[in-house]
Amino acid sequence: MSRETALRYLEPLENRTRNVAVLDALAEMVERAGLGIGDRLPPEISLATSLGVGRSTIREALNRWEGLGIIRRRRGDGTYLAARVQTSRGLVPTMVRLEGEALLRLMEIRRTLENDVVRKAVAKASTTQRAEISRLCTLLLKEVDAGRPWRTADHAFHQAIYDATGNPMYGQLLLNLDHALERGGSSPFAADAFGLDSFPIHRDLADAILIGDAPAAIDAINRLLDTVEAEVRAIIEGGKLG
């Protein structure tokens, strides 16, 4: 199906919103037009005209999709779908489901890296580094138990593990992965309550590194990721909307 044909599935938006309505309309266009991975989207100006919004509004929406890995832009050539897009028909908003699916793709990559990180941290960490990882875990869990913002403490804990590998590229890669996934301010995946079920497992991970038990550390990091992945799936399936 041609890009021009796809435009038939767009109608001017009554409310010229710059967020959810535009994103939902684009997702519906992709689904109804039968566009798949590798297909090129209509030009920004055509999308803007069909929806009755400014080109900057379309660019904002496409930037959001690019941040989620849904599209890929090729300079001078156009914008192509890089992931499947399907609208939601139930309780879960389309963008929440698309964010969740992008997060699951990211976690697949993260799991491979984190397993290697943990293995190397156990093998190479000094006595001082092992003690610091344990100390930072204790501080992290205190923040979580007190209901205070925990992201800074969580970053410090994981960064200490990355540092223990002796390879600074691990920390840079994993930080860039996390920053690559753009999440809306109202996203359930950006909320402080997201991922809380995984925190008790952080203690198991820290303890395993402290005593140099590689199998236990690898088991802990995989259980931690399993817990987060299960929560993502529960949200996008409508079982945990907050």
DSSP letter, residue 40: B
> Whole-model pTM above 0.85?
no
Q: Which residue has the tokens 């959810």?
A: 20
Do 114 and 223 lie in one domain? The reply is yes
Our count of domains for the chain comes to: 2
Q: Under a CB-based contact definition with an 8 Å cutoff, are residues 70 and 82 in contact?
A: yes
- 8 Å CB contact between 114 and 225: yes
Identify whether residues 103 and 199 lie together within a single domain. yes
Tokens encoding 94 = 């389309």
Read off the pLDDT of each residue in 19-29 and give the average, rounded to a whole number. 87
Residue 234 has pLDDT above 70, yes or no: yes
CB 95 within 8 A of CB 23: yes
Residue 210 to residue 66: CA distance in whole angstroms: 40
pLDDT tens digits along 179-189: 766 555 578 88
Polymer length in residues for the chain: 242
Whether 148 and 232 map to the same domain: the answer is: yes
| Residue after which a domain boundary falls, among 81, 113, 143 | 81
| Same domain as 110, residue 58 | no
**In whole angstroms, what is the distance from residue 221 CA to residue 223 CA?**
6
Both 10 and 64 in one domain: the answer is yes
pLDDT one-digit tens code per residue, 137-195 = 999 999 999 999 999 999 999 999 999 999 999 988 888 877 766 555 578 888 888 99
Residue 15 lies in a domain: yes
pLDDT surpassing 50 at residue 16: no
Position 184 scores a pLDDT of 58
Residue 138 and residue 209 in one domain: yes
CATH of the domain at 198: 1.20.120.530
